[in-house]
């Protein structure tokens, strides 16, 4: 064989070896990605299943932390509620999720640091609710009535609100509570 043919043969052998190594590296990378992605998906699924099991086994009991009254526009008394207060990020985020009962004279008051546009949803919320948005002057600015359990539809305040009261669905209609009415609340 001539020198040229030997050099060509060596170049071809190197090319083939380079291609084989490249193919092996790509296959190993795909295999590693596939295996690792399945590990993380399985771990994520396991965590979600564990969260659901914990939520099912956790009993969410009403804890009275204050009282709230509704007054009409003339400041006449309409009704009174025992309230649980959600005034930090975690309690506001959880709200009434996973609760399967609430007495008619009970509700939850969400307190925000400042008046702003608010929006709620019903994710993981079993009970149908009336969601009452209240501004910093304690006036009801919007009521989202009969919010559908488990819905992820956004229910906005439409106007700035600093407080939100959640009560059983139908409460506002039953007692004639409407926009413009006021709330007064106190912590125990």
Q: What is the pLDDT of residues 20-43, one digit of tens each?
A: 888 888 887 777 777 776 655 444
Cα four-point dihedral sign 108, 114, 117, 119: negative
Regarding whether 43 and 76 lie in a shared domain, the answer is no
Regarding whether 130 and 43 lie in a shared domain, the answer is no
- The pLDDT of residue 24: 81
In which residue are the tokens 């559908």 written?
Answer: 148
- The pLDDT of residue 6: 65
Regarding whether 113 and 47 lie in a shared domain, the answer is no
Cα four-point dihedral sign 140, 93, 124, 159: positive
Quick one: DSSP state of residue 139? B
Quote the pTM value: 0.71
Regarding whether 164 and 72 lie in a shared domain, the answer is yes
Identify the CATH number of the domain in which residue 125 sits: 2.60.120.1140
In the chain, the number of structural domains is 2
Regarding whether 162 and 71 lie in a shared domain, the answer is yes
Q: 42 lies in which domain range?
A: 1-58
Regarding whether 177 and 114 lie in a shared domain, the answer is yes
Edge to edge, the sheet with strand 106-116 lists: 140-147, 129-134, 161-168, 106-116, 77-86, 66-71, 182-187
Regarding whether 79 and 9 lie in a shared domain, the answer is no
Q: CB of 59 within 8 A of CB of 101?
A: no
Separation CA 177–CA 164 (nearest Å)? 14
Quick one: DSSP state of residue 9? H
Average pLDDT for 98-106: 96
Regarding whether 74 and 148 lie in a shared domain, the answer is yes
Regarding whether 23 and 76 lie in a shared domain, the answer is no
SS3 for 101? coil
Of 67 and 43, which is predicted with more confidence? 67
Regarding whether 48 and 105 lie in a shared domain, the answer is no
Regarding whether 113 and 97 lie in a shared domain, the answer is yes
**φ and ψ at 64, to 5 degrees?**
-65, 125
Separation CA 136–CA 114 (nearest Å)? 8
């Amino acid at each position: 064989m001539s020198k040229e043919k030997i050099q060509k043969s060596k170049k071809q052998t190197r090319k083939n070896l380079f291609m084989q190594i490249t193919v092996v590296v790509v296959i190993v990378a795909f295999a590693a990605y596939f295996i690792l992605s399945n590990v993380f998906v399985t771990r994520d699924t396991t965590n979600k299943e564990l969260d659901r099991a914990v939520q099912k086994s956790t009993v969410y009991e009403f804890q009275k932390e204050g009282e709230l009254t509704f007054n009409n526009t003339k400041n006449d008394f309409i009704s009174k509620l025992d309230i649980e207060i959600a005034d930090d990020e975690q309690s506001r985020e959880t709200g009434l999720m996973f609760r399967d009962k609430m007495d008619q004279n009970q509700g939850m008051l969400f307190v925000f640091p400042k008046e702003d546009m608010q929006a709620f949803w019903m994710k993981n919320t079993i009970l149908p609710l009336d969601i009452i948005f209240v501004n910093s002057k304690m006036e009801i600015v919007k009521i989202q009535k009969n919010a559908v359990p488990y819905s992820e539809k956004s229910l906005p305040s439409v106007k700035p609100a600093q407080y939100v009261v959640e009560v059983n669905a139908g409460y506002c209609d039953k007692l004639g509570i409407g926009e413009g009415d006021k709330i007064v609340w106190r912590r125990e």
